[in-house]
Amino acid sequence: MTTNPLVKLHALGQSIWLDFIRRGMLDSGELQRLIEEDHLRGVTSNPAIFEKAIGETHDYDEAIRRLACQGKNANEIYEQLTVEDVQRTADLFRPIYDWEAGRDGFVSLEVSPHLAHDTEGTLAEARRLWAEVDRPNIFIKVPATLAGLPAVRRLIGEGINVNVTLLFGLPRYRQVADAYIGGLEDRLAQGRPIDRIASVASFFLSRIDVLIDPMLEKLIREGGPQALFAEHLHGQVAIACAKIAYEMHRHIFGRERFSHLADRGARDQRLLWASTGTKNPAYSDVKYIEPLIGPGTVNTVPLETLNAYRQHGNPEVRLEQGIEDARKVVEDLLKVGIDIDLITQQLEDEGVEKFVKPFDHLMQTLEKERLGCLGNPA
């Protein structure tokens, strides 16, 4: 019998999470099956995922009617639906969380994307959601914006698990890791325990190539001295950045500053590969899994990518391979006139907007359904 490649990934030290959540998967037992058969170890969600789940299915119709009749507004309905889903999902993963002593088995819930540039607003909503969900194996997702960084540090200091999301750039990754370590230091200084606090840094991948590849293709078409560099770089930038981030992680969490915390039970902030669905049909549908298999990391994948890897994945530890080539990719970008730091800042800004739009659209959908349930169609 052929071993499931997803199970092999777990044996190699990488956790596979599902970047999707939908009530129908909970009701049908599908998510439980993925846990049992594929060794799924967690779930991530975001406003775009909930917009698809709530707005494009009938899974939530009855609950929306019930909540509307209770007099709740669209925002209150959204929050109750998402909190209920996260609670149920966290309960499914709780045995894994307990078995692995809090290392895995997490479910993520994101603060409103409208708070991406509001530190105090992020803190208030994160604390409220943490208390409302009331499960130890959840992450509150906070964007890696400049306003998000101090929120991450303070939340970690308060003992709230954080998934730092919308992370694209290497300099920003260093700031994210620093915010996590700083939060642990703050908590330890207060004499509070740090051994059960968890965090992941969600490094987004495919969007990097989606933005840079057309620039490189233009250079290739134009020919000239930069064309050869561009050909070499095409489709390689996201993976290169991820490999460099992993090297940075090993350095940051191997230094004395963190070892002092590790001696008191602190866990490292794991790197999580996000945006791992292949958007370019010319690329492999497991492009953002195969080269990034490494111990202590997480890869959160869409359902389609999970199914693809189960069918034809080839598990092997590769994350530490080709680090010199990865550095050269980043260096060569400058030779063709592409500033990766400007690119990743653009991606961060666009990433926030890509969550704001579906969130707002879902609020409009919920308001329309709410009014319809009350007999007052919009």
User: Do the Cβ atoms of 103 and 265 come closer than 8 Å?
Assistant: no
3-state secondary structure of 99: helix
Length of the chain: 378
> At 85, which amino acid appears?
D
Q: Looking up tokens 């300099």, which residue turns up?
A: 171
Q: What is the CA radius of gyration of the chain?
A: 21
3-state secondary structure of 45: coil
Hey, what are 307's tokens? 């199914």
> At 208, which amino acid appears?
I
- For residue 293, give the nearest of 3, 4, 2, 8 by alpha carbon: 8
Q: Looking up tokens 């290739």, which residue turns up?
A: 220
Calpha distance 69→274 (Å, rounded): 38
- For residue 211, give the nearest of 98, 340, 120 by alpha carbon: 340
The residues assigned a catalytic role are 141
DSSP string, 128-139: HHHHHH--TTEE
Which DSSP letter does residue 114 get?
A: G
Calpha distance 329→4 (Å, rounded): 33
Name every residue whose Cβ is closer than 8 Å to that of residue 29 and which is 6 or more positions away in sequence: none
Give the dihedral sign, CA 15/19/23/27. Answer: negative
